[in-house]
Structure 1
C-alpha cells in the first residue's frame, strides 16, 4: 500500500453511524494516486468541526458505500512530498494547511475567478468525496490521520507568525465566517455593524474576524452565559434572546448591517431577527442544521425592509490566504483546546456534548505536534 513512499497512510475511521459515539478505528487506507500537482502532508494538527460529527452520525444523510470514513478538514502539517507541478510555491518542509475543499475542476468560470468553492465542474470535499480531475473516482480522506495527499492548489502556506495549532480550525471554521464578512464589506462604510448569532465554534471566529476587519460586533445568544467570553473576543454588544426574541430586540431595531447566523433552528422568530437589520441589510446562514429546514420567512418581511436572506459556503483558497494573513497581522488567536489524536474517541463525544470553548484540535505528537 502506498508503495511510492516509505510511510503508510493511516487514520481514525468510522464504519457506521455509531462511530461518532467514540467508536472510531485506526486503519490503514489507500490515498489517491499521486499526481504531479499533488503534495503529501505529514499531519501535525487537525481541528474537529461539526461537519465531521454530522457526517459520521449521518445527520446530513447516509454515507453508504463511502464507509469507512476518515473525516477532518482543518489540517495543518509539514510537506514531505511534492510533484513537479506543485502550486503556491510549496516545497518540502513547508508548513501548510488544508481546509474543507481539496479539489475542483480548476477551469470553469468560478475557478478562474478565485471562487473554487463554487466550482461548476467538480467540487471535491476533503473527505467523503471522490476525485475526478486526477485519480478519477479515488476517495478523499481527511485529517484524522498521519498523512494527507491531495492537490497543492488547495494547500495554504501558513504565515510564520501563526501558531499552527491555532491556525488549524481557521481553515474551515474561520474561513466559513470570513467569506461572508468580506463579501458584504464588514468594517467598511457600508457594513460597520455586524451581528453574530451563536457563540460556538463558528461564532467565536465571527467575533474575532469581524473585530479584526474593523466592524463593531454584536453577539446574539440565548443566554448571558457566554457574555464575558464574547467581550474578551472583541464583541462590543451582547443581546440575550431568552425565549422571546421580539421582546429582547425592542429598542435595537435597524441597528445592524449584517447578521451571520451560525446557530439556527426552524423555530427561530425570523421577523424579530430581521427587525435588527437596517434597510439593504443581509442575513446570512453559514451553519447547516441536520433538520435541513429554514425558519419561516414571509415576502413582506423582506420587501418592506429591503432585506436579503442568503447563505455562504466555505472560503476559497484565496480567501483562506487573505484570512490567515489578516490573523497574522492583527494577532488573531483561535480559542482552542488540544487533544492527543490518540484520544479521539474521547474528544468526539466531548465535542458533541458542547464542551468545546471554542474549538478542539487533535495533536499528532508523533509527527511533531505540540500538546
Structure 2
C-alpha cells in the first residue's frame, strides 16, 4: 500500500547565490513519472559540489529556487502508475544523482553496448538532482529505478546518504584504477577528506596495502579515525614536504612505487606529484577537477608506461558492489548530522577549518 503523500512539503532552496538557503514550508510535493519512485527523504548530504551550486560556479548555473543535495537516502513512499519493477513501497533505498536516460543519444547508445541497464551518467539529456533539478533537502524526492539502490538493513540513512556521491565517486575511481591488481599491492589515496577517508577504507577492505597522503594534519588524523583497525591505512604520509614524502613512500614500497594512486583533490601540484609515486605500469585515478587546465609530465608517463583513468561517479551495479563491501567490512563515514531547521547554517559549518568528514541533514525529524 502506498504511503499517504501530502500535496505540499518542507524544502530548502537556493534563494540567491552566495546567500544562505531559504526555507519553504509549502513547496508542492513532486509527482513521480509513470516509471518513477517517490522517496520519502530521511537523510540528505552536503558536499563541495553543493557549495559550488550555491555559489553559482557551474558553467550552467543551478537555477534560483532549486532544492539542493544530490546525496539522498530514504524510503519508497509510492511508485509511478506504470512501474512493474522489483522495488516496492517501504523499501529502504539510496538515490544516485543522474536519472532519466533518454536511451537514444550517443552516450546512451555507447553504454548499452556494455550494459543491459540504462545508465544516465553519460546521457546528453539526463537530469541531475541537486544541480539543475530538485534534490534531497526536502521531504520527498523522485528517484529513477535505474539509479536507485536498495540499502542493507543495518545501514543507517545518515551513513547511506554520503555513499550516494562521495562513496560512489571514490569507489568508481578505485575500481577503475585497480583493475588487474592483486591483493597486497600498494595503493595511495592522495587527499583525505570526505572522499579520501572512504577511499582508504574501501582499499583496505579490498585487500590492498594503503598509504594515506595529505598535507594537512586534519586529513592525516581523519585517515586513522575508524574504530575498525583493519580499515586503517598501513602508512600515513605528510605531503607538505613532497621530497621527503616521496622518499618515505618509495622506502615503503621497496623502491618500486605504488601500483595505483587515487587523487581526491583538485590541487594541480598534488596531481602532478602523484604521477611520480607510481611504479612501472601504474595507474593514476583522477577525481579532483582543477579550476584551470594542467599539463601531464609526458616523460614519466611514457618511460614508465603509466595510465591515467578518469571516473564519473559510479553506476548502479558498481554502487551495489560498494554497498556490499561497506556492509561486510564495516566501512563508516565520519558524519556531522544536523536537523532541517539548520540548513541555512550549512555553509558556515562546511567552511569551518576544524570540520572533518561529511555533513548530513536529517530530514525525518
Q: Does 1:213 align with 2:206?
A: yes
Once the two structures are superposed, the pairs formed by residues 71-90 of structure 1 within 5 Å of their partners are 71-86=68-83, 89-90=86-87
Q: Which residue matches 2:197?
A: 204
Q: Does 1:122 align with 2:125?
A: yes
Q: CA deviation at 1:34?
A: 3.0
Contact 2:79 2:88 in 1 (8 A): yes
Once the two structures are superposed, the pairs formed by residues 356-371 of structure 1 within 5 Å of their partners are 356-366=355-365
Q: Does 1:258 align with 2:260?
A: yes
Q: CA deviation at 1:43?
A: 0.8
Contact 2:45 2:70 in 1 (8 A): yes
CA distance in 2, matches of 1:355, 1:224: 11
Q: Which residue matches 2:229?
A: none
Q: Which residue matches 1:171?
A: 164
Cα deviation, 1:30-71, whole Å, max 9, x if unaligned, reads 56653221111111100112111111112233526x221211
CA distance in 2, matches of 1:338, 1:125: 24
Secondary structure of the equivalent of 1:201? coil
- Which consecutive unaligned segments of at least 5 residues does structure 1 have? 130-139, 367-371
Secondary structure of the equivalent of 1:172? helix
TM-score w.r.t. length of structure 1: 0.85
CA distance in 1, matches of 2:148, 2:55: 27
Q: Which residue matches 2:58?
A: 60
Once the two structures are superposed, the pairs formed by residues 1-371 of structure 1 within 5 Å of their partners are 5-19=5-19, 22-26=20-24, 28-30=26-28, 34-61=32-59, 63=61, 66-86=63-83, 89-106=86-103, 108-111=109-112, 113=115, 116=119, 118-129=121-132, 140-185=133-178, 188-189=181-182, 192-233=185-226, 234-242=232-240, 244-253=241-250, 254-268=256-270, 270=272, 272-289=273-290, 291=291, 293-366=292-365
Number of residue pairs aligned between Structure 1 and Structure 2: 346
CA distance in 1, matches of 2:100, 2:304: 39
Secondary structure of the equivalent of 1:219? strand
CA distance in 1, matches of 2:18, 2:324: 39
Of residues 36-45 and 52-61 in structure 1, the stretch that sits farther from structure 2 once superposed is 52-61
Specify whether residues 226 and 268 from structure 1 end up closer, same or farther in structure 2 by C-alpha distance, changes over 3 A only.
Answer: closer
Q: CA deviation at 1:347?
A: 2.2
Q: CA deviation at 1:110?
A: 0.7
- Which consecutive unaligned segments of at least 5 residues does structure 2 have? 227-231, 251-255
Contact 2:98 2:121 in 1 (8 A): no
Q: Which residue matches 2:253?
A: none
Q: Displaced runs of 4+ in structure 1, greater than 6 A?
A: none
